[in-house]
């Protein structure tokens, strides 16, 4: 027993830290969908245990495969008595859900709001999704598919270019505001995030920043078109534990690779590179001491966690 908290239980802030799911989403899963049943203290405070962490991990796995929150209660009940070796598809009766099937309605309504140039409806749909789903699920199932659809149809609609500009501006502002409000919540290692020089599209980096914040990292966000050699001064001044660079383009390759090599050798911290640039020059980046992350943000965050743990262990041996 610690204070008035029963042994083995912990408050919601600890659950947020250990799962990366924010408190408002956890409360929505409990109150709206009955997916969590925390212990309640006489004061009304919720307490959680290790079983809740495993349950949330199952929920995240199910959501990532396209199931809706309304479909999860029986699957969670099945999983609690299952050995854990069955796949979600076999638990669901042998039928594979259509990828992102639970998000078709969100996508259709968001596209309609975009076609009407309605900021209010875009705001409402995004807020509703974020109220019940973690930001990584919203990113994978709504934001990225929306960007792909907008990019595919910009030249097929009379207002396609205007729609692309409108949605990009709205999303950049929305993600930036979320980053601003959540920026002080992280308590973990500090990251410097920047787009490579000549890269002006920063939406992907903003999404990555929010995923990193959800995982407990602190973020210094430098944004688009950042000169690489100036990042060194930021790293020295802030003692950040990692630098993450990103770019969709591959222009100015020799100059960029030379500067990334310089930063990788000069900075006393790992340098990660994401986006299409990292996919294109994966082998070369490894040769010059950088860590290519590719363009899958979820996998990128996990790679970041693994490499930073390795880095910390190596530093303690020196």
Look at residue 157 and tell me whether its pLDDT is greater than 70: yes
pTM of the model: 0.73
pLDDT of residue 5: 61
How open is the CA angle 259-264-267, to the nearest 5 degrees? 110
Q: What is the pLDDT of residue 85?
A: 36
pLDDT digits 0-9 by tens, 109-135: 999 999 999 999 999 999 888 887 888
Each residue of 13-37: pLDDT tens digit? 888 878 878 788 888 888 888 888 8
pLDDT of residue 168 exceeding 90 = yes
Local confidence band at 80 (pLDDT 50, 70, 90 cut-offs): low
Does position 56 have pLDDT exceeding 80, yes or no? yes
Mean pLDDT (the chain) is 84
> How high is the pLDDT of residue 318?
52
pLDDT given for residue 116 in this prediction: 96
Statement: residue 214 has pLDDT above 90: no
Q: Region 235-251: what's the mean pLDDT?
A: 90
- The DSSP result for 180-200, as a single string, is HHHTTT--S-EEEEEEPTT--
pLDDT of residue 268: 84
Distance set, CA 107 to CA 72, 112, 170 (Å): 21, 9, 16
- DSSP assigned state of 154: T
CB 270 within 8 A of CB 308: yes
Interval 180-204 mean pLDDT: 86
The pLDDT score that the predictor gives to residue 260 is 95
Residue 300: closest CA among 141, 140, 100, 134: 140
Determine the Cα–Cα distance for residues 143 and 232; give it in Å rounded to an integer.
Answer: 32
Higher pLDDT, 165 or 59: 165
Q: What residues are paired with 220 via a beta bridge?
A: 192
pLDDT at 100 over 60: no
């Amino acid at each position: 027993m610690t204070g008035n908290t029963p042994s083995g239980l912990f408050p919601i802030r600890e659950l947020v830290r250990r799962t990366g799911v924010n408190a408002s989403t956890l409360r929505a899963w409990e109150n709206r969908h009955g997916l969590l049943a925390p212990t309640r203290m006489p004061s009304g405070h919720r307490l959680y245990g290790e079983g809740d962490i495993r349950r949330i991990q199952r929920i995240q796995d199910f959501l990532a495969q396209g199931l809706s929150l309304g479909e999860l209660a029986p699957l969670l009940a099945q999983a609690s008595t299952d050995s854990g070796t069955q796949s979600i598809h076999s638990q669901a009766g042998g039928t594979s859900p259509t990828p992102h099937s639970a998000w078709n309605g969100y996508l259709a309504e968001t596209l309609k709001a975009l076609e009407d140039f309605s900021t209010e409806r875009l705001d409402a749909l995004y807020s509703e999704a974020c109220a019940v789903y973690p930001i990584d699920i919203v990113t994978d199932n709504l934001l990225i598919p929306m960007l792909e659809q907008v990019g595919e149809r910009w030249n097929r609609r009379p207002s396609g270019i205007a729609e692309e500009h409108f949605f990009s501006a709205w999303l950049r502002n929305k993600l930036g505001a979320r980053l601003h409000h959540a920026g002080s919540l992280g308590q973990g290692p500090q990251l410097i995030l920047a787009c490579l020089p000549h890269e002006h599209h920063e939406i992907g980096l903003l999404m990555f920043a929010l995923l990193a914040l959800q995982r407990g990292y602190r973020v210094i966000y430098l944004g688009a078109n950042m000169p690489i050699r100036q990042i060194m001064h930021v790293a020295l001044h802030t003692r950040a534990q990692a630098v993450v660079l990103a770019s969709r383009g591959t222009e100015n390759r020799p100059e960029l690779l030379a500067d990334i090599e310089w930063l990788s050798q000069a900075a006393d911290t790992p340098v990660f590179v994401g986006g299409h640039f990292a996919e294109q020059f994966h082998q070369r980046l490894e040769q010059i001491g950088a860590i290519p992350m590719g363009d899958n943000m979820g996998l990128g965050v996990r790679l970041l966690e693994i490499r930073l743990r390795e880095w910390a262990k190596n530093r303690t041996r020196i």
